[in-house]
Amino acid sequence: MPEITGLHHLGILVEDLARARNFYESVLGLVPHPARPALPYPGVWYDLPDGRQLHLMRLPNPEAGLARPEHGGRDRHAAFAVADVGELKRALERHGVAYTLSKSGRPALFCRDPDGNALEFVQAAAR
């Protein structure tokens, strides 16, 4: 059996790269990775604090137009750890981004990026 040792990166399809970058950079505060290689499609990479990366790829979405559930927890989603979910709520509200709280009762929320990709943010436990 192969041994999976962790998650390396997550790729997300976007239709409008400038619009997506505005969300991920201005709302979520991510900083572009400076050394993305020349690939045959536009995109941007972000380094996450845990050593993983998030890749935005401007490629055709084979699921464009499909109905998605309102609550992102009932859709496939990427989950990110955050230090303070309250701070994220305030940032989303400042930028007019709708969100729903986790149905599990834990400190977490879900929102969608401008392309409808579901994102979960879970408050990391204090160390």
pLDDT tens-digit series, residues 7-65: 899 999 999 999 999 999 999 999 999 999 999 999 999 999 999 999 999 998 888 88
Q: For residue 126, what pLDDT band results from cuts at 50, 70 and 90?
A: low
14 is a domain residue: yes
In a domain, 4, yes or no: no
Strand-pairing partners, residue 120, are: 79, 110
Sequence-distant (≥ 6) Cβ neighbours of residue 118 within 8 angstroms = 68, 72, 73, 75, 76, 77, 78, 110, 111, 112
Q: Which residues contact 107 (CB under 8 A, 6 or more apart)?
A: 85, 122, 123
Of 70 and 53, more confident: 53
> Which residue segment(s) compose the domain that 44 sits in?
9-60+68-123
Report pTM.
Answer: 0.91
Q: How many domains are contained in the chain? A: 1
59 Cβ contact partners less than 8 Å away, ≥ 6 residues apart: 13, 41
Confidence of residue 127 (pLDDT cuts 50, 70, 90): very low
Residue 39 lies in a domain: yes
Residue pair 111/99 in contact by the 8 Å Cβ criterion: yes
Q: What was the pLDDT predicted at 69?
A: 87
Sign of the dihedral through C-alpha 90, 96, 97, 98: positive
Asked if residue 1 is part of any domain, the answer here is no
Average pLDDT, the chain: 93
CATH number of the domain within which 55 lies: 3.10.180.10
